[in-house]
Structure 1
Amino acid sequence: MEKEIFSIDVGRAALRMAMSETREDEDRLKANYAKEGFRTAAVNFGGEFLPSVTKIVERAMVAAERQHIVTDSHVGAGTV
């Protein structure tokens, strides 16, 4: 039986992914989370924060769609 994943688990995984320092660290986390039933994606961004918010959301949506975490729909976009 698979362990139920709660929103707090998703938040913790997202923070750990965001704090990964290298691509190798990111890949290791992704592999470990996959074993736990999580589907993950990561994306890099830089620049000033406020003007970057739109780009951050857009890149997160594209990454989630490419990794088949969400569907390419308004529902999938809302999930991100």
Structure 2
Amino acid sequence: MARVRYLGPEPVTVPELGRAVEPDEVIEVPDDRFAGYVCQPVNWEAVEEPRQQEEEAAPLPLRKAAAKPQKEG
């Protein structure tokens, strides 16, 4: 789970949580919903990013093509 902080000036109801979130409160959100919060930088800031995104950001090792067998003869 990722974590975000609410930056707004007054409490806001977050239907996903089924409750109100207070100003400066840190909440946990599902990793797949993290981008939906932090794309609103006026209202939310990232506290802890999803682990899944960090793993995806790592470069993948390059794969080398198998050598073609040489024909004898």
Asked whether the two chains share a fold, i.e. TM above 0.5, the reply is no
Q: Which has the higher contact order (CA 8 A, sep 6+)?
A: 2
Q: Which is higher, the Rg of structure 1 or of structure 2?
A: 2
Q: Which one has the bigger strand percentage?
A: 2
* Structure with greater helix share of residues: 1
Q: TM-score, normalised by structure 2?
A: 0.30
TM-score by structure 1 length? 0.28
